[in-house]
A and B are shown apart, each in its own frame.
Chain A
Amino acid sequence: MKINVDYVARVEGEGSVKFEIKDGNLKYLKLNIWEPPRFFEGFLVGRKYDEVPDIVSRICGICPVSHMTTSICALEKAMGFTPSPEIKKIRDIMALSQIAASHLVHVYALVLPDYHKVDMLIGLDEEIKRLVRLKEAINNVTAVFGGRALHPVSMVAGGFTKIPSKDEIGQMIKRLEGVKKDALETVKMASALRYPDLMSDAEYVALSGKDVYAVNEGKIISDSGIETEVSDYYSYFQEEEVAYANAKKTILKGRAPVMVGALARLSIKFDKLHPEAKKAADIIGFKKSVKNPFFNIIAQSIEIVHCIWRCIDLLEEVSPLDSLSPVKPREGSGAAMTEAPRGLLYHEYKVNRLGIVENANIVTPTAYNFLSLEENLKKLVNENIDKPPEELSLLCEMLVRAYDPCFSCSVH
């Protein structure tokens, strides 16, 4: 019996799942990411450093801030520029607001319909209204700092072209305060869903900082003992082309498949969450090292709480005087890694003395998750092999959605 999920709906981009069951055994299973390539790493060569963030932002319509920030950090490193702590703080605010916004869409619009046994979000009016309230308050932060929430324009190498007034920041805080209850309600809602059982063997990997829940910088840490700097990236990670997919698989050399994203982050740096997020996790009895990938959805809801409370703290601290410093182009190479909503994001550039890109490499969260998602799909099918095909396909789709993949990003 061949089962073919032609396209996985309610995810970003294009991917399908194909598998065959013969005599009660799974013969093969392939996650075919057929999203067409756009060749960003190809056409970035020859472009100038000051247009790179605007271009890479278009890799993803959901996490443009992550691509912009990561490229800016890598380019600044390449050209020997160190941003001020104040600029870093605003970049953190941008990142946190985008992580929350992305999680909100994922939890409510992409995932929730499965658990209400409907095809799309229509009809769940109370949930939609809560989503809109939360999203409006969060997007307001990204939009006022960035000019607009989707493909913002103020983020450049050297800082921000414009910074909101004290008044505008006060308004942001007020609006965020107004949705705290909705955020906590989201955790309750996510924890009340009945998730399928599955135990993953994946190694969790995330960025970790000294005292903070790292988003834009930190060491690469895994739950099985890896602790390394981003500069040592190639000693651990390896990119492989896949015959049946346009996305590449990025693996940890000689180790288990990798999972990145909210669940991995919570496993590795739960202690550094905002106290309110920890409290929310305690209330629902969320344990630190959960191995069921479906629980990524609960992890995201806990992160939504973290992002809102942390954003408020940072907004109260922020006092930007010089938001933009000149960056002088010079020859060099630089790499940076950040936590995009879906997990680790790596950008690396080599530029010449004019700041023209000579080489670019971009590795996205879904490339890291590719292998473990495929392995867990196999496991899921094997454990449910007696179920009718319709149910099996839906289960597979639900697992793909739980990983919150971005196929557009993964191919780019």
Chain B
Amino acid sequence: MKKPRLGFFKYSCCAGCEFQFMYFQKFIIETLSSFDVIFAKMLKRGGNPHGPFDIALVEGTITESWQADELKRIREQSKQLFAIGACAINGGVPAIKATMPELEAEKKVYKDISAIHSIRPHSLDAYVKVDGYIRGCPPGERDLYEALSSLLTGKKPDFLEYSVCIECKLKGNICVLVAYDMPCMGPVTNAGCGALCPSMNRACYSCFGPMKQANGPALAKKFKMMGLSKDDIVRKFTEFGADTIEFRRAIEAYED
């Protein structure tokens, strides 16, 4: 069997996804010998960024216009393009910048912003068609394996499409939201972490981003009843996913 030609691309992010993909797991040899690595900066010198690729894995938020241009070119050269990690899927942490005037954030960091070319942070699918979403910050192991094995076997990946709450129930966790009044984002957050934070005695902070069709407004109202201020609620819904419809709705619902 011919090995799938793989390209790994990084935009604005911590590089943790590429790290997780290549070096973090015990299957380094298996992963690296299953794919023909055509381009991956953190892994290989002298790669070919132009493709063509059977699969392009893309991490990071789009925050500069050249990235959007390059992304479109990669899309054209790739049979499949998967977004990997919160930044690429929902804007992740870099999208917090979108909650304030852009210039304000930029001027706090640089005295001379004449050489700064940032645009409003967006997820990949604001620019191109995305074939698969390997969610999480960092990507959950279960979904990562599902993605890689599906790409190798040619099947459609079966990603987790339910909330962190389900994972808590499966683990038999006591609900930290109901029992301990912790402002847990679990009800609106996509699964994949194995209900990590509630299992570690803390509230979920939504690093896997919003679950599709999540009812953000209902959770925002619950937080309000618990005594959280509007600012606190806005912060909850903008740490991961400031760029998403699900979480924007939650913030708008506060005034109702």
Binding site for B on A (CB under 8 A): 7, 9-14, 36-43, 45-48, 51, 54-55, 58-62, 64, 105, 109-110, 113, 119-122, 125, 128-129, 131-132, 135-136, 139, 147-151, 153-154, 156, 161-162, 241, 243, 246, 397, 408
Query: Which residues on the A side are within 8 Å of B111 (C-beta)?
Result: 241
Q: In the bound complex, what is the Cα–Cα distance between A147 and B239 (angstroms)?
A: 19
Q: In the bound complex, what is the Cα–Cα distance between A156 and B115 (angstroms)?
A: 36
Q: How distant is A347 from chain B, measured CB to nearest CB, in Å?
A: 15
B100 touches A43 (CB 8 A): yes
Known: A48-B235, A119-B44. A109 touches B22 (CB 8 A): yes
Known: A48-B235, A132-B28. A36 touches B43 (CB 8 A): no
A105 touches B105 (CB 8 A): no
* Chain B 58-77 residues near chain A, CB threshold 8 A: 61, 63-64, 67
A51 touches B205 (CB 8 A): yes
Q: How distant is A105 from chain B, measured CB to nearest CB, in Å?
A: 5
Q: In the bound complex, what is the Cα–Cα distance between A246 and B12 (angstroms)?
A: 13
Q: How distant is A321 from chain B, measured CB to nearest CB, in Å?
A: 15
Top 6 nearest A-B pairs (CB, nearest first) are: A61-B16, A42-B105, A9-B45, A61-B14, A120-B44, A42-B108
Known: A42-B108, A60-B14, A122-B33. A54 touches B205 (CB 8 A): yes
Contact of A132 among B26, B92, B99, B199 (CB under 8 A): B26
B14 touches A36 (CB 8 A): no
A38 touches B15 (CB 8 A): no
Q: In the bound complex, what is the Cα–Cα distance between A45 and B97 (angstroms)?
A: 10
Q: In the bound complex, what is the Cα–Cα distance between A13 and B20 (angstroms)?
A: 14
B46 touches A119 (CB 8 A): yes
Q: In the bound complex, what is the Cα–Cα distance between A60 and B14 (angstroms)?
A: 5
B15 touches A109 (CB 8 A): no
Q: How distant is B177 from chain A, measured CB to nearest CB, in Å?
A: 15
Q: In the bound complex, what is the Cα–Cα distance between A132 and B42 (angstroms)?
A: 18
B239 touches A55 (CB 8 A): yes
Q: In the bound complex, what is the Cα–Cα distance between A48 and B116 (angstroms)?
A: 27
Q: Residue among B13, B14, B37, B44 with the most chain A CB within 10 A?
A: B14
Given contacts A62-B15, A408-B14, list 9 more A-B pairs with CB under 8 A: A36-B11, A37-B63, A61-B138, A109-B23, A125-B29, A132-B26, A150-B24, A162-B201, A241-B111
Q: How distant is B227 from chain A, measured CB to nearest CB, in Å?
A: 14
Known: A36-B11, A36-B67, A38-B63. A64 touches B16 (CB 8 A): yes
B104 touches A42 (CB 8 A): yes
Q: In the bound complex, what is the Cα–Cα distance between A148 and B97 (angstroms)?
A: 26
Chain A residues touching B, majority SS? loop
B108 touches A45 (CB 8 A): yes
B112 at the interface (CB under 8 A from A): yes
Q: In the bound complex, what is the Cα–Cα distance between A205 and B32 (angstroms)?
A: 38
Query: Which residues on the B side are within 8 Å of A397 (C-beta)?
Result: 45
B161 at the interface (CB under 8 A from A): no
B89 at the interface (CB under 8 A from A): no
Can you list 20 pairs linking A and B with CB atoms under 8 Å apart? A7-B41, A9-B47, A10-B42, A36-B64, A38-B12, A42-B106, A45-B100, A54-B207, A55-B239, A59-B14, A61-B15, A61-B18, A121-B43, A132-B26, A132-B28, A148-B138, A148-B196, A149-B24, A161-B200, A246-B116
Q: How distant is A84 from chain B, measured CB to nearest CB, in Å?
A: 18
Q: How distant is B34 from chain A, measured CB to nearest CB, in Å?
A: 11
B96 at the interface (CB under 8 A from A): yes
Q: Residue among B28, B99, B118 with the most chain A CB within 10 A?
A: B28
Instruction: Using CB atoms, name the residue of chain B closest to A54.
Output: B205
B55 at the interface (CB under 8 A from A): no
A10 touches B24 (CB 8 A): no
A37 touches B196 (CB 8 A): no
Query: Which residues on the B side are within 8 Å of A120 (C-beta)?
Result: 32, 37, 43-45
A147 touches B64 (CB 8 A): no
Query: Which residues on the A side are within 8 Å of B42 (C-beta)?
Result: 9-12, 110
Instruction: Using CB atoms, name the residue of chain A closest to B12.
Output: A36
Q: How distant is B100 from chain A, measured CB to nearest CB, in Å?
A: 6
Q: How distant is B119 from chain A, measured CB to nearest CB, in Å?
A: 10
Known: A128-B28, A153-B200. A38 touches B137 (CB 8 A): no
Query: Which residues on the B side are within 8 Å of A136 (C-beta)?
Result: 26
Q: Residue among A42, A59, A109 with the most chain B CB within 10 A?
A: A42
Query: Which residues on the B side are within 8 Å of A42 (C-beta)?
Result: 97, 100, 104-109
B202 at the interface (CB under 8 A from A): yes
Instruction: Using CB atoms, name the residue of chain A closest to B19.
Output: A61
Q: In the bound complex, what is the Cα–Cα distance between A43 and B67 (angstroms)?
A: 21
Q: In the bound complex, what is the Cα–Cα distance between A170 and B43 (angstroms)?
A: 34
B19 touches A121 (CB 8 A): no
Q: How distant is B117 from chain A, measured CB to nearest CB, in Å?
A: 8
Q: How distant is B192 from chain A, measured CB to nearest CB, in Å?
A: 12
Q: Residue among A9, A58, A136 with the most chain B CB within 10 A?
A: A58
Instruction: Using CB atoms, name the residue of chain B closest to A147.
Output: B200
Q: How distant is B189 from chain A, measured CB to nearest CB, in Å?
A: 13
Contact of B44 among A10, A11, A60, A64 (CB under 8 A): A10
Query: Which residues on the B side are within 8 Å of A10 (C-beta)?
Result: 41-45
Contact of A39 among B47, B118, B197, B201 (CB under 8 A): B118
Query: Which residues on the A side are within 8 Å of B37 (C-beta)?
Result: 120, 122
Instruction: Using CB atoms, name the residue of chain B closest to A55.
Output: B93
B191 at the interface (CB under 8 A from A): no
Query: Which residues on the B side are within 8 Å of A408 (C-beta)?
Result: 13-15
A154 touches B200 (CB 8 A): yes
Q: In the bound complex, what is the Cα–Cα distance between A115 and B18 (angstroms)?
A: 23
* Chain B 216-256 residues near chain A, CB threshold 8 A: 232, 235, 239
B17 at the interface (CB under 8 A from A): yes
Q: In the bound complex, what is the Cα–Cα distance between A370 and B12 (angstroms)?
A: 20
Q: In the bound complex, what is the Cα–Cα distance between A119 and B10 (angstroms)?
A: 19
Q: In the bound complex, what is the Cα–Cα distance between A55 and B97 (angstroms)?
A: 12
Q: How distant is A88 from chain B, measured CB to nearest CB, in Å?
A: 20
* Chain B 139-197 residues near chain A, CB threshold 8 A: 193, 196-197
A151 touches B44 (CB 8 A): no
Q: How distant is A289 from chain B, measured CB to nearest CB, in Å?
A: 31
Q: In the bound complex, what is the Cα–Cα distance between A243 and B12 (angstroms)?
A: 20
Instruction: Using CB atoms, name the residue of chain A closest to B111.
Output: A241
